Each structure stands twice: as C-alpha cells, then as structure tokens.
Structure 1
C-alpha cells in the first residue's frame, strides 16, 4: 500500500516591496487602526474567557464565535503589520500639487489621456488625477477620476510628456497611451476628490 501523499498547498507569493506615496496623516491613521484592533481583540478575549466558564465547550456557540472573531482580528493585524514593514512610505502634502511644473506626468497632475487597445484598435479617453495610494474617488463636477500612482496604468504614465504615443504592456493586454494634456488640479477639485483617509482594506477584515 502506497504511503499517503502530503497535501500540497499553493500560496500566492507576497507582493514585492514598494515605495508608496500617501497623504499626510495616512501613517497616523494606520496606527490608529492597529490600536483599535488591539482593543477589539482584548474585548474578544474577555468574551472568550466568559464563554469558557459556562461549561461544555462542544456546544458553546459563544466560545466558538469569540474564537473565530479573534482569529479574524489576528489576521488583519498581521496583514497591517506586514503592509507597514514591507513597504517604504513617503507622506506628501497635496497643496504642492497646485503649482508644480507640467512638462511631464507626475504625482498630483490632472491628465487627459487616450488609450488604444492594440488588439481591437479601440480608443478610450480618460481624465485622471494621479493620486496617492488608495485614492479612488471621482469628482462629479468635472468627471476626473483618481488614479492611484501604484496602479499599473499610472506606472506606465508617470514620466511621459504630452503628445507622444507610447506602447505599453498593461494587465489587460498591449496598449498605446497618449497623454493629451497635463495640468495642475484646482483647489476645488482636490477638495471634492480627496476624501477622508482610510486604512487599507485587508483580507482578514470582517
């Protein structure tokens, strides 16, 4: 009889370290989130101990629920800690985006681009604010969308000058990007686009 085969578990490799630009206050918000999770975990441990004192654990649903909740909090705390330790963070003040040079695409610029899909020859036009990590808002007045600097599209656009078609390889396939215009945002646009800072969403979040 052949020996039992060990179960093979395939795990996705962690993302490589990045230099992540974030708005001023992001790291403080990250710390506050981690501290809130520690408080939540302490309360769950008390619930678990209280449930444990009630007798037979095999049918103690309160004990099982508290145990599962602690595991979920532990996962999120571990992921937040890895996120912080793995990457390098640079905090920026969006006030500097109002007057920066516009010779080529930089963080904080409003850009109008044309994206042509090589396979279908279809062309699409977008207006983006090249924003810091995690920014995804859209300005309802101007239609400008936040494009996080760490996204594959932004990585292909940063450093480009206006008017020159550039072949790039994006996750969706090969494309040709043309920056049609580069300008600085207005204060009103920033006020509408840059919403309250939130910590990153982690898989361990309930």
Structure 2
C-alpha cells in the first residue's frame, strides 16, 4: 500500500502520539535488559541477549515509523470510512500484520543472530522496510480506532467469559505458539519449514481473535439480566407458531457472543430476536426469516432465570 493511502486525522494523530509516548517509556527497560543479557558470557550465542536485542530493534522500528508518519502527514478533518472502505482497510491491515511484517522481522532477526550490525548496507533495505511497515500499520490502526462503532450488548456472564478467554489467549496460547515457533526455527530453512509456517499461521489466527475480543470489550454495553414484564436479553420465551398448527418453540434471548441456535439460544440481533424485543406475553409478532418466509408467533410465556 502506498504511503499516501495512510490518512491522519486529529484523533488518529493523538492516538499515535500516545502510542509513541508509551514506546519511549518501554524502550529504556528493554535496553537495560539487553545490556544485562549482553554482559553474560558468549553473548553472540546467548539466546536471551538475542531475544532482547531483537525486541529492542522492533521497538526502535516502531518509534521511527510513527515519528516519520507524524512528520510527513498533514492532519485532515474527521474521516468517516464507508463500510466497504473500512473492510478493505481491515483486510490490508491484516495482510501487513500477518504476511509482510513477519517476513521483514525474520530478516532482521537472522541478521541479529549472526551478529551483523544493522548499519551494514545489505541490511538497510530490510530496516527501512520495517520502519515503513510499522508506520503504515500504526496509521491504519489509529484511523480504524477513530471510526464510530456500534455498541455491543453483553451480559455480565458473557463479558466475564470473554475476559477469561482473552487472558488465556494472551498468557497461555501466545506462549505456547511462541515456543512452537522457536523449536521450528531450529529445523533449518524457514522457506520450506512446514512446522514454522503452520505455527506462524496459527499465531496470525490467535492475534486476530485477540484483536476481535479486545474490540468487543471496548464497545461493550454490559447489562444485568433481571425480571421484566417484557422480552429483553436473558428472557426465556415460549412461542406458538400461529402459522403451523400451534407448534411450540422455546428460545432464550442472549447477546450475540452467547448465541447458539442449535441449543435454542438466539441472538437479540437475529430476525426473531429483533421481532421479540420489548414485546409482552399474549402478543403476536411477525418474523421475516432469512429465506423470505414470514411466520407469525404468539408469545405464550416469558420468564427470567
């Protein structure tokens, strides 16, 4: 993606400045850890030293990328992306994160492991690519964060489940996949290393799920399930199909994250869920199904557990 496609608004500029401030705070700690590891004997073969040196290089690249972006871009008025434009930007961001960035990071990592100085001309191109990619990614992330987002309804229980999953993915799964990647690297040529490529793909999927949960929690409107005289999230509803010989159905109206239609748990955003919200016992509702059919239901009973 050409640099000119990265748009900088006043709000996204502020977010970039906040991220730059955070990285500048983190950098001295990583630099200190690098120096400490370097003091150990045989630092050129010290895995801890190589790990810290690699981390420091990535932080420097992010700082340089954001600084370059902030200097080179004119701040525009608020930008509202169309749904199609937002989708394309998200797809490009995912490609840069999961395909382009890992390739360049691997080139840098190999150079550091060999003890080659990054100032060498042969490594300058990779370094500039890394800085440029970080600038593009930071700018696109900042722009996406400024877009107006719909609220996501979550129950207290659902929010807790998401937070627990997020903690497990960040602490357990990330460490497991990182160890798999480390072991796979030892097998040799990465271009034909199936284990390494598979672990990288798994890492990309994991990072995507983490980003998805973080976005849900950021937009969450948490509600308490309580007894009401009408249908809302958390209600158990008994319906009679007035269009089909009085057939009965039981559904629990849940948030989108907890939906499982095969178990009778339907989202409040589904066609049936939308038609039932705020309705009372004894009322009839018309539901237009995805296949185009219209079904009439009578609400026989509403309960909250």
In the superposition, the TM-score normalised over structure 1's length comes to 0.59
Question: Does 2:129 correspond to 1:129?
Answer: no
Contact 1:20 1:88 in 2 (8 A): yes
Aligned CA RMSD, in angstroms, stands at 3.5
Which structure: greater helix fraction? 2
Mapped partners of 1:138, 1:58: distance in 2: 43
Question: Does 2:236 correspond to 1:110?
Answer: yes
CA positional deviation for 1:157:
0.9
1:35-114 matches, within 5 Å, as 35-39=167-171, 40-85=173-218, 87-92=219-224, 94=225, 96-97=226-227, 100=228, 102=229, 104-114=230-240
Which structure: greater strand fraction? 1
Mapped partners of 1:178, 1:148: distance in 2: 17
1:162-177 matches, within 5 Å, as 162-177=281-296
CA positional deviation for 1:123:
6.5
Q: Label 1:162 to 1:58 Cα distance change in 2 as closer, same or farther (>3 A).
A: closer
How many residues end up aligned between the 2 structures? 160
Q: Please state whether the residue corresponding to 1:171 is helix, strand or coil.
A: coil
Q: Which has the higher contact order (CA 8 A, sep 6+)?
A: 1
5+ residue gaps, structure 1, are: 1-9, 140-144, 191-206
Contact 1:111 1:182 in 2 (8 A): yes
Q: Label 1:153 to 1:46 Cα distance change in 2 as closer, same or farther (>3 A).
A: same
Larger radius of gyration: 2
5+ residue gaps, structure 2, are: 1-83, 91-148
Mapped partners of 2:192, 2:205: distance in 1: 21
Question: Does 2:139 correspond to 1:20?
Answer: no
CA positional deviation for 1:37:
1.6
What does residue 149 of structure 1 align with? 268
Q: Please state whether the residue corresponding to 1:184 is helix, strand or coil.
A: strand
* Displacement over 4 Å in runs of 4+: 10-14, 121-124
Mapped partners of 2:271, 2:289: distance in 1: 7
